[in-house]
Structure 1
Amino acid sequence: MEGVPGDGDSAAAWLPLAKWKNDFSRAFQHYLDRSTPHSVGRWMGTLGVALIYVLRVYYLQGFYIISYGLGIYVLNLLIGFLSPKVDPELEVMDGASLPTRGSDEFRPFIRRLPEFKFWYSFTKAFCVAFVMTFFSVFDVPVFWPILLFYWIVLFVLTMKRQILHMIKYRYIPFSIGKQKYTEEVIPSSSSIED
């Protein structure tokens, strides 16, 4: 049995497209890898993209449903970023858990969503939302103050739950620089007598 005539022609036509896709993917990954240690620059670029999106929505006076969906997605990313990889409430401990007492051994905080993936997903979400603003089918007329109010209530309730979880299991999802230890000043016997 012979194949369908022209199969070789169609495969040859797709070959340059596949090569271009592969080259683009490799170059994109190369630049992503090079940007990894430059977190401040990455976040500044992302804030620029977010500002452009906000200005576009403001000047168009529309696309509030897209903005609401973007806000829910960003809130979901933020929860993943602030949560430990192993949640003490949900998963059976296999030896790797957060310390709950001062006498427990120090274990570093490992995020459920690492910073780089958080940044990448955050940036990609704003880029996708920006592209969606060019299609009028996504501009559903809504009363935007209700959406904003509902999102604020959702944000406050979610953050309250997350903060209570942090307090209950005594973890802080941020570390600012290297921790510095100082010597404790032990009062001398002469200062006690005075």
Structure 2
Amino acid sequence: MEGVGGDGTSTATAALNQRRHEVSKLFQYYLDKSTPHALYRWIATFLLMCLYALRVYYIQGFYIVTYGLGIYILNLLIGFLSPLVDPELEPTDGPVLPTKGSDEFKPFIRRLPEFKFW
């Protein structure tokens, strides 16, 4: 009567969750190590994009997938380059400077942070 009670599935689920947590920690570790190397991340991204473009060109396929991926990346890029607060919606007097010591002046805050863009 080993299988009675579903103990095997809960053990497998716990092991899967443990493994997922370990992989998540490892991914976060390498992500944190890559933080100061912004130029190398951009170069690697550009090279991967070129490699993908060459693959699509030589296979003569994946055009629909590439089109959808391009629209998604363009949407992310627009969010990365646009400010969090739209200057068009500011009061007509223009931007307001901080009046108290607790107010912090932030001239440009991205709508989409860099690591969410990656």
The two structures have a TM-score, normalised by structure 2, of: 0.76
Query: Which consecutive residues of structure 1, in runs of 5 or more, have no partner in the other structure?
Result: 100-105, 121-194
Instruction: Give 1:76's aligned residue.
Output: 75
Question: Once superposed, which parts of structure 1, at least 4 consecutive aligned residues long, lie more than 3 Å away?
Answer: none
Q: Is contact 1:98-1:107 (8 Å) kept?
A: no
Q: Against the structure 1 CA distance between its residues 80 and 5, is the aligned structure 2 distance closer, same or farther, given a 3 Å change threshold?
A: same
Q: Match of 1:60, as an amino acid?
A: I
List per-residue Cα deviations over 1:112-131 (Å, max 9, x = no partner).
Answer: 1223322x1xxxxxxxxxxx
Offset, 1:98 = 8.0
* Alignment-derived partner of residue 12 in structure 1: 11
Alignment RMSD, CA only? 2.3
| Structure 2 alignment gaps of length 5 or more | 98-104
For residues 13 and 44 of structure 1, do their structure 2 counterparts lie closer, same or farther at Cα, with a shift above 3 Å needed? same
TM-score, structure 1 normalization: 0.49
| Paired AA for residue 50 in structure 1 | M
Distance (whole Å) between structure 1 residues aligned to residue 58 and residue 22 of structure 2: 37
Bigger Rg over Cα: 1
Q: State the Cα distance separating 1:107 from its structure 2 match.
A: 4.7
1:1-194 equivalence runs, <5 A = 5-90=4-89, 97=95, 107-118=106-117, 120=118
SS in 2 for 1:89: helix
Give the count of matched residue pairs: 106
Please state how far the C-alpha of 1:5 moved relative to its aligned partner: 2.2
